[in-house]
A and B are shown apart, each in its own frame.
Chain A
Amino acid sequence: MPLPPLPDSAIDLGVHAADWRTAVRLAGNALRRSGATRDSYTERMIQVIDEFGAYIVIGPGLALAHARPGPDVLADGLSVVTLATPVVFGHPHNDPVRVVIGLAVETADAHVHSVAELANIFNDPEAIPALANAATAEDVWRVIGATDVPRDVSAPAR
């Protein structure tokens, strides 16, 4: 199953975040900008970490920000945010975080498959540093293997 779309508007490179909340919020803003989510999804991603801790930091320097499917997910989507200064999330092994991937999916089944697809990408140990050092959206797409699928942003929100 292919990854959710990663449009140019959902890529934010070399940005500054003072703390993990801000970093996750940037990933959420990128999802919202691309038309995948509403603001409340961003807050739900933060709540997951408040409730369960930094387990979303699943590899060295990489956080996978996500929440359950819900009405604030308008379309499946990915976002990629790279941080100019690494941020501590509180994970015992994988801090500090340089790359935050935002993930939103409409159904739980899609969630399982698209996340599994991410495993195929990041099993390559070069993938996280390559993303962290990406200078352009093209660099990001090269790592993720995704394409800039245009989304009809003029479509009325459901």
Chain B
Amino acid sequence: MKIVAICGAGVGTSAILKVNAERALGRLGISADVVASDVAGLATTGTDAQVILTSPELVERIPRTNADVIVVDNYFDVSELERKLDQALG
């Protein structure tokens, strides 16, 4: 399974999302490949993604997708990520 963490300026805040998403997945016992990308790169990195993680500010910029889009408020709250990933994948 592939999960893409999105940010605006390329490889910035998406790296934090990636690290904490991997932690949350570990807690859930789910194995997945988490990739950091920017909005522009989503066209290539996102085609086979099952889940897209992003900020409330960037949701509208995500092109139409079959992936579940998860909006993360606090990038440092692993529990929030765990809850939302569990809802989407569980």
A93 interfacial contact with B, CB 8 Å:
yes
B47 interfacial contact with A, CB 8 Å:
no
* A53 nearest CB neighbor, chain B only: B57
* A54 nearest CB neighbor, chain B only: B57
Could you tell me the distance between the alpha carbons of A93 and B55 in the complex, rounded to whole angstroms? Answer: 10
Chain A residues in 8 Å Cβ range of B56 = 55, 91-93
Chain A residues in 8 Å Cβ range of B61 = 52
A59 interfacial contact with B, CB 8 Å:
yes
What number of B residues sit within 8 Å (CB to CB) of A? 27
Chain A residues in 8 Å Cβ range of B57 = 52-55, 91-92
A84 interfacial contact with B, CB 8 Å:
no
Chain B residues in 8 Å Cβ range of A108 = 10-11
Q: Would A119 and B12 count as touching, CB distance under 8 A?
A: no
Per-position contact with B for A42-69: 1 when CB-CB < 8 Å, else 0?
A: 0000001001111110111000101110
Chain B residues in 8 Å Cβ range of A48 = 8-9
CB distance from B69 to the nearest CB of A (A): 14
* B73 nearest CB neighbor, chain A only: A93
A116 interfacial contact with B, CB 8 Å:
yes
Known pairs A52-B39, A93-B56, A112-B36; A59 contacts B76 (CB<8 A): yes
What number of A residues sit within 8 Å (CB to CB) of B? 31
CB distance from A115 to the nearest CB of B (A): 4
Q: Would A115 and B75 count as touching, CB distance under 8 A?
A: no
CB distance from B13 to the nearest CB of A (A): 5
Residues in chain B within 8 A of chain A (CB atoms): 7-13, 15-16, 18-20, 23, 36, 39, 54-58, 61, 73-78
Query: What are 10 A-B interface contacts by the 8 Å CB criterion?
Result: A53-B58, A64-B13, A66-B13, A67-B9, A68-B10, A91-B57, A92-B73, A103-B12, A116-B18, A123-B20
